[in-house]
Amino acid sequence: MSSKSRNLLKRIPLYAFLILGSVGMLVPFVWMILSALKPNNEIFTSPPTFLPKDPNWGNFVEAWGSGDFTQYFINTSIISVLTTVITLFICSLAGYTFAKFNFMGKKVLFLLFLGTMMIPMQVIMIPIFLMMSKIGLLNSYWSVILPLVANAYGVFLMRQFMSTIPTELMEAARIDGCSEFRIFWQIILPLTKPALVTLGILTFLGAWNEFLWPLIMLDSPDMMTLQVALTQFQGQYEVKWNLLMAASALSMIPIALIFIVFQRYLVEGIASSGVKG
């Protein structure tokens, strides 16, 4: 036996454990899809079947149609996209200012911003709910978007990235008579793409998956987000688990796509922050 194959033999337990472990991690996901495909008479057989005997793809269509899922999908998309765009703008503007300018009280302000990372949303949700109800924004997209865009982690991330950009670029643009906002918008911002992508993905995922803010703020059925709608289904369709699993699977399609395309950015973002999750 060569030393190479002996080495491989020694590693069999390692591989067995890793393969079993990662397949085990995927089981709930597989069970969701398999359950979504089971027809009504099969979903409630005890003991359950593993593979659906007669896969019913129509369940996905039926689940989508049994609530106003198109509307929920639109609501969730609007909230997630707007939250992401505004967060990116605000955080990069603040990050740029903190990284490249000096002004009175800068240090104190930066510490105050960082300090907000300690504030759990459960403490501020009650005052913000009352504020929104006072100014009549309750049950609007803005009531969910605005609290989400005040993101100190994003400011910090952008500041770190902006400070690596050479200041000479700004000086050169100033000599050419470029306005300050244009320097930020057309010269600095394009250079921060990697940080913007990381922050953008984390923000989008967070907004798409957000549950407590929309649960509090949105109360009419036509404003509901997917997450809130799914929990409503849970009460309403307690007997139709195949449809609930189908709706759950459909609700996570954008998330799964982002995961597949941007896994590298996600891994970097989470490894560098540890804030989300």
Partner 1 sequence: MDLVKSMEVKGEHNHTEAKKYKWKQKLTPIGFISPVLLIFSLFLFFPVLFAFYMSFHQWGMIGTPEFVGFHNYVRLFQDPLFWTSIKNTLIFSLSVPLKVAIALFIAVLLNQKIRGLGFYRAAFFFPVVLSMVVVGLVWQWMFSPSYGFINYLLEKLGLPLQNMLIDSDQAMIVLIIVSIWKGLGSNLLLFLAGLQAIPSSVYEAAEIDGANSWQKFWHITVQLLKPTTLFVLIITLIGSFKIFDLAYVITGGGPGTSTMVLVHYIYQEAFQRFDMGYASAAAYVFFIILFILTLVQMRMFKSDSEF
**Binders of partner 1 among 112-151, rule CB under 8 A?**
112-113, 116, 118-120, 122-131, 146-147, 149-150
CA end-to-end span of the chain:
46
- Binder among 60, 72, 73, 96 for partner 1 (CB under 8 A): 96
| Residue 209 Cα to chain centre, angstroms | 6
The one segment of 53-61, 64-72, 188-196, 259-267 that binds partner 1 by CB under 8 A: 259-267
Instruction: Give me the least distance between CB of 229 and partner 1, in Å please.
Output: 9
- Binder among 141, 184, 213, 265 for partner 1 (CB under 8 A): 184
Tell me, by CB under 8 A, how many residues bind partner 1.
Answer: 91
Residue 214 main-chain phi, psi, to 5 deg: -60, -30
Instruction: Give me the least distance between CB of 267 and partner 1, in Å please.
Output: 6
Cis status, amide bond into 47, omega within 30 of 0: yes
CA contacts within 13 A on the Cβ side of 144: 31
Long-range pairs for 119-127: beta carbons < 8 A, 24 or more residues apart: 121/147, 121/212, 121/213, 122/212, 125/212, 125/213, 125/216
CA angle 264, 245, 259 (to 5 degrees): 5
Instruction: Give me the least distance between CB of 34 and partner 1, in Å please.
Output: 9
For partner 1, the binding residues in 16-35 under the rule CB under 8 A are 17-19, 21-23, 25-29, 31-32, 35
- Tell whether residue 85 is a contact of partner 1 (CB under 8 A): no
Euclidean distance between CA atoms 235 and 228, whole angstroms: 11
Question: Cβ closer to partner 1: 79 or 152?
Answer: 152
Instruction: Give me the least distance between CB of 272 and partner 1, in Å please.
Output: 8
- Binder among 218, 223, 230, 246 for partner 1 (CB under 8 A): 230
- Binder among 15, 182, 253, 261 for partner 1 (CB under 8 A): 15
| Residue 120 Cα to chain centre, angstroms | 18
Instruction: Give me the least distance between CB of 195 and partner 1, in Å please.
Output: 16
Q: Report yes or no: 133 and 216 within 8 Å, Cβ to Cβ.
A: no
- Binder among 9, 16, 48, 221 for partner 1 (CB under 8 A): 48
Residue 222 main-chain phi, psi, to 5 deg: -75, -10
Instruction: Give me the least distance between CB of 122 and partner 1, in Å please.
Output: 5
